[in-house]
Structure 1
Amino acid sequence: MSHSSHRPNWPAVFAIAFCVACLITAEFLPVSLLTPMAADLHISEGTAGQTVTVTALVAMFASVIITSLIKNSDRRYVVIAFAVLLSISSLIVALSTNFYLLLGGRVVLGVALGGFWALAASVTMKLVPPHALAKALSVVFGGVSIAMVIAAPIGSFLGNLIGWRNVFIGAAMLGGVCSLWLVKVLPAMHATSVEKEPMLRIFKQTGVKVAMLAIFLTFCGQFSFFTYIRPLLATVSKLDVNQLTLIFLGFGIANFIGTSCSAIVLKKHLIHTLFLAPTTLFVCTGLFIFFGHIPWVASLIIIVWGFTFGLIPVAWSTWIARNLAHQAENAGAVQVAVIQFANTLGAALGGVLLDSQGILAPITLCGGLMLITAGLIGFVMPRHTGTHQS
C-alpha cells in the first residue's frame, strides 16, 4: 500500500468520488426505468432486469482480469479510460434498438465499473497521506450514497419526463465530465511491489473466506429484491409513478444517512453492525410480504431498508481495511468480483422467480439469504475474524 507523502490531493479525491457516483448511477438506472425500457424494446420486465445482471457479471471478471493486466501501468491513464467507457456505454444504451444492443452497452459499463471499483480504494490511498486516509475513503464512499440518492428517483422522474433514452444520454454527458476532471487533477500513479503479489494470497488471512461468503450472500439477496423494486411496489403496493419517485428518493436519502452515520457506529461495533444489518433486512422482507399492500407500511419498510443497507458496504470495507490494508489493490479486486458475482446471480434469480413464481418471489429469496448471512456472521465470524471489535 502506498500513500502520498505530501499534502492530500483533495481535488483528485473528489474527482474519484464523482466518478464512483456516476458509475453507480449508470449501473442502477435500469432499476427505476425497467418498465418503460421493457415496453419500448418489447421484452418482459424480468428480461429487462438482466441488463443489471450482465453489467454485474462483466464487472466481476473485469475487476480481476484488469487488476492482473495493469501491474506496471500508470493508474492515472487506466482510471481515465474507465470514465471514457462510461460515456460510450451510456450512448450505446441510449441508441439501442433491440435487447442485444442494450446488453452490449451494459457490457461496456461492466468493464468500466469492475475496473474502476477494483482500483478506487488503492488509488485513493495514493492521493493522501495516512492521517487523511479515513476522511478520503469516506468521501469516495459518499459518492456511492449520493448515487443511491440520485439514480432511482432522478431516473424515475426524468424517464417519465423526457424518456429513458435521454436519461442515458445525460449519463454519457456525466461520463465526459468525469474524464475531463480526472485528466486535470490526477497525478501519475504507479504500482508498488506489494500490489504485484498474487491476488489469491489474501485468502490466507484469518477470516477472509468467511467474510467474502457473507459479502456474497448479502449482495445476492439485495439484488434479487432491489432490481425488481419498481414492479414490486407498483403491483403489490399500488403506487403510481409520482409515488414511486418519492419512495426512491426516500430510499436514497435514508441510504445516504446510513452511510454518513456508519463511521460512528463502526468505530466500536463493527461485528455487531455486520450481524444486525442483514437481520434487520430479513425482518423487513417478512413485514413487506405480509403488509406490503398497505402503501405507508411499504414506504416505511423501503426507507428502513435504505438506511440499513447504507451501513453494509462501509462496514465490510472497514473490515477489509483493518485486515487487508497491506494488499489493498488485490483485496479491492476480489471484493468487487465477489460483489458483482453476487449481483449477477441475485438479479438473475430474481428475474427468473419474478417471471415464473410471481411478484413476491424475489423478496422472499432475499429474506432467506439475509437470514443465512446473519447466521453466518453471528455464529461463524466471531470465531474466525482477526479483529477485536465488538
Structure 2
Amino acid sequence: MSDSLSATADPQLVGIAPDERSIAAWPAVFALGMGVFALVSAEFLPASVLTSIAADLSISVGAAGQTVTVTSLVGVVAAIFTPIVSSRFDRRLVLWALMFLLALSSLTTALANGYAMLLAARFLLGLSLGGFWSMAPALSLRLVPARSVPRALAIISAGVSAAFIGAGPLGAYLDALLGWRMVFVLSAGLAGVALLALLTTMPRLPSQTVPRLETLAVLLARPSVRLMLISVLVTISGQFTGFTYIRPFLEQVPQLGVTAITFVLLGYGFGNVIGNFAGGAVVARGVKLAIVSFALATAVLALAMLLFGSSPIVAGIAVALWGFAFGFAPVGFQSWMVRTAADHAEAASGLLTAAFLVAIASGAVLGGLLVDHVGGWGPIGYMAAATFAGAVLVLVAGKEPPRP
C-alpha cells in the first residue's frame, strides 16, 4: 500500500487534530478486519454449498448462484449511498447496525423455506456488505496515525484472504457434516462475534463531512479512473464467474468428491494469502505489472483447467495457483485508484467497491446461464476469455500511475 494513503488525502479526515489520532486504536482496526472476514465469508459461502442449496430448495444450480448476484447488486447501491444517508450519525453506530444486518441475513438464509426468502436474506447481506466496505478503509485512517495507515489497511484486507481460506473449504466440509443451513447459522455466530468486537473496541467517530454525489462525477471525468473501472469490470467478472461456479466444475470435470473439493478450495485460500504478500512486492515495482500478471496468469490457468482439468492433480494445482494470482488483484487495483484519486479517497473507494460488486454480480449471472446450459466448464471458459481481454486492455491502454 502506498504512502499516498495519508490523512490529508481523504476528505473524512479534514479537521482532525493530530492528537486525536496520535495513538493507534489497533483493537478497533482488528475489529474492522474481523467484520470484513465475516462479511466476505458470508458473501461467498454459496460457492461452496451451491449444489446443496439447489437440491434442498428444488432450484437449479444457476438459480442458486444468483444469490451472489443479488448481494452484489444491492451492495453497489449501498456502497454509494450509505455514507450519504448515514452522514449525520456517529460512524461506529453505522458499523454496528451493518454488522447486525449481516447476522440477521445469515440467520434468515439458514431458515429460508423457498427461493424468495433466500433472495431476501441475501438482499440484507448486500446492504451490509456495500455499506461496510465503503466506510471501513476511510474510517481506518481515523483510527491510527498517518504513518501506520498502510499497516491498518493491510490488517483490514487480511480479512478477505482469511475468508477465502475459511469460507470455501470449511463451507464445503461443514455442508457435508452438518448441512448447508447450519453453515449459515455458524456464519451468523461469526457476525455476532465481529459485532461484539466492534461494540467493545470502536471509539466514537462523529461524522465530519457530508459526501456529495458530485465528487463521483469529478472522478469519472478522469480517463485513468475510467480505464481502471472498466478493467475491473472485465477481469473481475471473469474471476468470479469461475469462482462462484468452481464446485460444479470440480464435480463434473475431474469428478472430485466433497473431501477433495474441500482441500482444493483450501489450496485456493492459502494460495491467495501468499499472493497478497507477493502482490504487494510486485505493486512496488509497478501497478500495471501486478494487474496484467493477475489477469494473464488467470487466463492461462483457466485454459489449463479446460484442457487438462479432468486430472484431479492438474485441477488442484491450477486452482491453488489461481488463488495466488488473484492475490495480486485487490492490492493492484486499490493502489491504482489511490495513486490516481488520492484527493478523493473515500469517494474513490466507493467507486472501486461498486465496480467490484457489479463485476461479481454480472459474473454470477453469466456463470449461472453457462453452468445451466453448457455445464461446469462454461464459467471457466468465460473466465479465460475475460481475464485475457482485461490483460490486453491494461497492457495496451493502461499507463503506470504516478508514484507518490
Indicate the TM-score class for this superposition, using the shorter chain for normalisation. Answer: over 0.9
Q: How far does residue 184 in structure 1 lie from its aligned partner after superposition?
A: 1.2
Q: Is the 8 A contact 1:206 1:386 kept in 2?
A: no
Q: Is the 1:215–1:338 Cα contact (8 Å) retained in structure 2?
A: yes
Supply the AA of the counterpart residue of 1:126.
R
The superposition leaves residues 154-200 of structure 1 with CA deviations (integer Å, 9 ceiling, x where unpaired) of: 10111111111111111111111111111111112234448457331
Q: Say which of 48, 60, 65 aligns to 1:32.
A: 48
Who is 1:103 aligned against? 119
TM-score, length-scaled by structure 2: 0.93
Indicate the residue corresponding to 2:389 in structure 1.
Answer: 372
Aligned position for 2:361: 344
Deviations 1:324-363 (A, max 9, x none): 2332221111111111111111100110111112322111
For residue 324 of structure 1, what is the aligned residue in structure 2? 341
Equivalent residue number for residue 93 of structure 1: 109
SS in 2 for 1:49: helix
Q: How does 1:110-125 map to 2 (within 5 A)?
A: 110-125=126-141
User: Secondary structure at 2:172's aligned position in 1?
Assistant: helix
Which residue, 178, 183, 194 being the options, matches 2:199?
183
Q: Are positions 1:281 and 2:259 aligned together?
A: no
The CA distance in 1 between the partners of 2:360 and 2:215, in whole Å, is: 21
Counterpart Cα distance in 1 of 2:156 and 2:212:
24
Counterpart amino acid of residue 74 in structure 2: V
CA distance 1:328–1:195, change in 2 (3 Å):
farther
* Aligned position for 1:138: 154
Deviations 1:274-313 (A, max 9, x none): 1111011111111111101111011111001000001101
Residue number in structure 2 paired with 1:215: 232
How far does the alpha carbon of each residue in 1:46-96 deviate from its partner, in whole angstroms, 9 at most, with x for none? 111111111111111111121221233321111111100010000000001
Contact 2:70–2:123, Cα closer than 8 Å, also in 1: yes
Instruction: From 69, 76, 90, give the equivalent of 1:60.
Output: 76
**Counterpart check, 1:172 vs 2:209:** no
What amino acid is the match of 1:209? R
- 2:324 is the counterpart of 1:307: yes
Aligned AA for 2:378?
A
- The equivalent of 2:27 in structure 1 is 11
1:83 is matched with which residue?
A: 99
| Deviation for aligned residue 1:388 | 4.7
Aligned partner of 2:282 in structure 1 is: 265
Amino acid at match of 2:354: A
Matched, 1:46 2:62: yes
Whole-angstrom CA distance in 1 between matches of 2:189 and 2:148: 31
In structure 2, the partner of 1:153 is: 169
Identity %: 36
Preserved CA contact (<8 Å) 1:67 1:333: no
d(CA) in 1 for partners of 2:292, 2:117: 41
Give secondary structure in 2 for the equivalent of 1:97: coil
Whole-angstrom CA distance in 2 between matches of 1:115 and 1:68: 10
The Cα of 1:134 is off from its aligned counterpart by: 0.6
| Offset, 1:273 | 1.0
Cα distance, 1:217 vs structure 2: 1.1
The whole-number CA distance in structure 1 between the counterparts of 2:343 and 2:179 is 46
Match of 2:372 among 346, 351, 355: 355
Match of 1:333 among 327, 331, 350: 350
Native 8 Å contact 1:30 1:52 kept in 2: yes
1:194–1:326: 8 Å Cα contact kept in structure 2? no
SS at match of 2:285: coil
Instruction: Please say which of residues 182-191 and 88-97 is displaced more in the overlay.
Output: 182-191
1:295 pairs with one of 298, 309, 312? 312
Distance in 2 between residues matched to 1:194 and 1:98, nearest whole Å = 40
Amino acid across the alignment from 2:349: G
Aligned-partner SS, 1:207: helix
- TM superposition shift of 1:372: 1.2
CA distance in 1, matches of 2:224, 2:208: 25
The residue that corresponds to 1:249 in the other structure is 266
2:3 aligns to what? none
Number of residue pairs matched by the alignment: 387
Is the 1:38–1:44 contact (alpha carbons within 8 Å) kept by the matching residues of 2?
A: yes
Q: TM-score, normalised by structure 1?
A: 0.96
Q: Does the aligned pair in 2 maintain the 1:195–1:327 contact within 8 Å? A: no
Q: What is the CA RMSD across the aligned residues, in angstroms?
A: 1.5
Name the CA distance, whole Å, in 1 between partners of 2:208 and 2:337.
19
Does the 8 Å contact 1:67/1:330 carry over to 2?
no
Q: Tell me whether 15-24 or 321-330 shows the greater mean CA deviation.
A: 321-330
2:257 equivalent in structure 1: 240
The aligned amino acid for 1:154 is L
Assess if the C-alpha contact under 8 Å between 2:46 and 2:65 holds in 1. Answer: yes
Q: Which amino acid counterpart does residue 54 of structure 2 have in structure 1?
A: A
